[in-house]
Chain A
Amino acid sequence: MTGPAWATATQGPPRRRARRLAEQWPMILVLALIWCLLWGSFAAGTVVAGLLLGALVVAVLPLPALGLNGAFRPWPATVLAARFLYDITTASFQVAWTALRPGPVPRGGVVAVELRPAPDVLFVMTAELSSLIPGSLVIEVDARAAVLYLHVLDLAASGGPEGVRAQTLHLEERVLRAFASHEDLQRAGLRPAAAEAGPGEGA
């Protein structure tokens, strides 16, 4: 009997299942946090119920581990978040103005952007963010070649295909500087600045 992959994964020996639970404790914490936020309370009973439910979800619906071996650098992450807020605001008002202003809608285009080699999680993060900012939308992803195909609403206003590539690579650089491990930064050709290589380096 060969069931679907998820079925065989849940039927593994108990020891393997226990190890998977141990490996995926960050996921259980996140699920428990969502549970508490939904109830709007951090009472002890709610937290325990959330942890139990999180463990149940991870045990019944197993996902492959994300392989998060990145870092978290507070200052670049702040830069990323602040720039994101600024960009989504300007991008939103730009699209709003494009929609409301009289006259013809500008011509758009599909631009291929080759990103740096990076872990999948950060690649996905860059792809998600580039749908919200700058003026682009991910329509196709070639994960193996690390190429994003972006649709740009107003190609002329974004500086043409080259402008779109430059903006997206800058966005990726901000993501990598915030979350990539030291090795991944070097592999991506972004040697960390001297200040970041100091004792502040997260693990």
Chain B
Amino acid sequence: MNLDDPDIWVAVADVAAAVFLLLGAFLTFSAGVGVVRFPNLLARMHAVTKPQVLGLILMLVGVALRLRSWPAVTMLALVVVFQLLTSPVAAHMVGRAGLRTRKVSPDELEVDDYTDKAD
């Protein structure tokens, strides 16, 4: 094995890219399953923030490792930044709207400090 051989690093980057893409795909898939399986609106928003965001980040890292071009990498980095900035806000807006319009049944919550405070 000759580490000076550029082909080896190309192969390493390709394998790492494949691993990242598969991990990202797994997390994104589980986010989809969560949206279907979770019992209420607020629980579903968890699936679309955490595994979905990290899944996307891992996928884009995989894409960057495969493309290996700076213009693509900077663009992908921007996608990650805006995903991190916007996805919590989007989930917050949907969750708050659901809670305020009483689309979330109190029976489904173990504790509910919000409704307790409002009453």
A interface residue numbers (CB < 8 A to B) = 34, 36-41, 88-89, 91-93, 95-100, 105, 107-112, 127-129, 131-133, 135, 137-141, 149, 151, 153, 155, 161
A38 close to B30 (CB less than 8 A): no
Q: List 22 A-B contacts (CB under 8 A).
A: A36-B74, A38-B74, A40-B70, A88-B54, A92-B27, A92-B55, A95-B47, A107-B110, A108-B110, A111-B111, A112-B114, A131-B49, A132-B84, A137-B42, A137-B45, A138-B91, A139-B95, A149-B114, A151-B43, A153-B43, A155-B111, A161-B113
In the complex, B12 has a CB within 8 A of chain A: no
Measured between alpha carbons, how far is A149 from B43 in the docked complex, in Å? 14
Contacts of B114 in A (CB 8 A): 110, 112, 139-140, 149
B window 102-118: CB within 8 A of A: 108-115, 117
Cβ-neighbour of A153 out of B27, B46, B78, B115 (below 8 A) = B46
In the complex, B92 has a CB within 8 A of chain A: yes
State which of B2-10, B13-21, B33-41 sits at the interface with chain A.
Answer: B33-41
A40 close to B96 (CB less than 8 A): no
Return the chain A residue nearest B45 by Cβ. A137
Contacts of B26 in A (CB 8 A): 96
**B76 shortest CB reach to chain A, Å:** 10
A99 close to B34 (CB less than 8 A): yes
* Given A137-B92, A139-B42, A153-B43, A99 contacting B51 (CB threshold 8 A): yes
A128 close to B88 (CB less than 8 A): yes
**B63 shortest CB reach to chain A, Å:** 14
* Given A34-B78, A95-B50, A107 contacting B108 (CB threshold 8 A): yes
* Given A95-B47, A140-B99, A151-B45, A110 contacting B113 (CB threshold 8 A): yes
* Given A40-B75, A88-B53, A108-B42, A161 contacting B95 (CB threshold 8 A): no
* Given A95-B51, A108-B109, A139-B114, A40 contacting B74 (CB threshold 8 A): yes
**A171 shortest CB reach to chain B, Å:** 13
By CB atoms of chain B within 10 A, which of A137, A155, A161 has the most? A137
A38 close to B78 (CB less than 8 A): yes
B window 57-107: CB within 8 A of A: 70-72, 74-75, 77-78, 84-85, 87-89, 91-92, 95-96, 98-99
A37 close to B74 (CB less than 8 A): yes
Contacts of A107 in B (CB 8 A): 108-110
Measured between alpha carbons, how far is A93 from B75 in the docked complex, in Å? 26
